[in-house]
Structure 1
Amino acid sequence: MVKRFGQGETVVTALGGVDVAFRTGEFTAIMGPSGSGKSTLMHCMAGLDSATEGKAFIGDTDLSTLKDKEMTALRRDRLGFIFQSFNLVPTLTAAENITLPSDIAGRDVDEAWFREITERLGLAERLEHRPAELSGGQQQRVACARALVSRPEIIFGDEPTGNLDSNSSGEVLDILRTAVDKDGQTVVIVTHDPRAASYADRVVFLADGMIVEELRDPTIEQIAATMTGIEG
Structure 2
Amino acid sequence: MTATVVRAPQAAARANDVWKVYGSGEAQVIALRGVSAEFESGRFTAIMGPSGSGKSTLMHCLAGLDSVTRGEAWVGDTRITGLGDSGLTNLRRDKIGFIFQQFNLLPTLTAKENILLPLSIAGRKPDPAWYDIVIRTVGLADRLGHRPNQLSGGQQQRVACARALVSRPEVIFADEPTGNLDSRSGAEVLGFLRNSVREHGQTIIMVTHDPVAASYADRVVFLADGQIVSELIEPTPETVLDTMKKLDSLTEAAN
> What range describes the TM-score normalised by the shorter chain of this pair?
over 0.9
Residue 119 of structure 1 deviates from its aligned partner by 2.0
1:38 aligns with one of 36, 55, 80: 55
Q: In structure 1, what residue type is equivalent to 2:62? A: M
Residue 220 of structure 1 deviates from its aligned partner by 0.9
Point out where structure 2 has 5 or more consecutive residues left out of the alignment. Answer: 1-17, 250-255
1:184 aligns with one of 201, 215, 231: 201
Q: Distance in 2 between matches of 1:75 and 1:143?
A: 15
Structure with the larger strand share: 2
2:219 aligns with one of 182, 193, 202: 202
Q: Distance in 2 between matches of 1:51 and 1:227?
A: 26
Q: Distance in 1 between matches of 2:115 and 2:64?
A: 22
Q: Distance in 1 between matches of 2:144 and 2:218?
A: 32
1:49 aligns with one of 44, 50, 66: 66
**Correspondence 1:135 to 2:132:** no
The aligned residue for residue 158 of structure 1 is 175
The aligned residue for residue 229 of structure 1 is 246
Q: Distance in 2 between matches of 1:183 and 1:122?
A: 16
Runs of 4+ in 1 over 4 A off after TM superposition: none
Residue 218 of structure 1 deviates from its aligned partner by 1.0
Q: In structure 2, what residue type is equivalent to 1:186? A: T
Q: Distance in 1 between matches of 2:43 and 2:72?
A: 21
The aligned residue for residue 136 of structure 2 is 119
Q: Distance in 2 between matches of 1:17 and 1:119?
A: 42
Residue 111 of structure 1 deviates from its aligned partner by 1.9
1:91 aligns with one of 108, 117, 139: 108
Identical aligned residues as a percent:
64
Residue 112 of structure 1 deviates from its aligned partner by 2.2
Q: In structure 1, what residue type is equivalent to 2:112? A: A
The aligned residue for residue 253 of structure 2 is none
Structure whose CA Rg is larger? 2
TM-score by length of 2: 0.90
Q: Distance in 1 between matches of 2:238 and 2:129?
A: 40
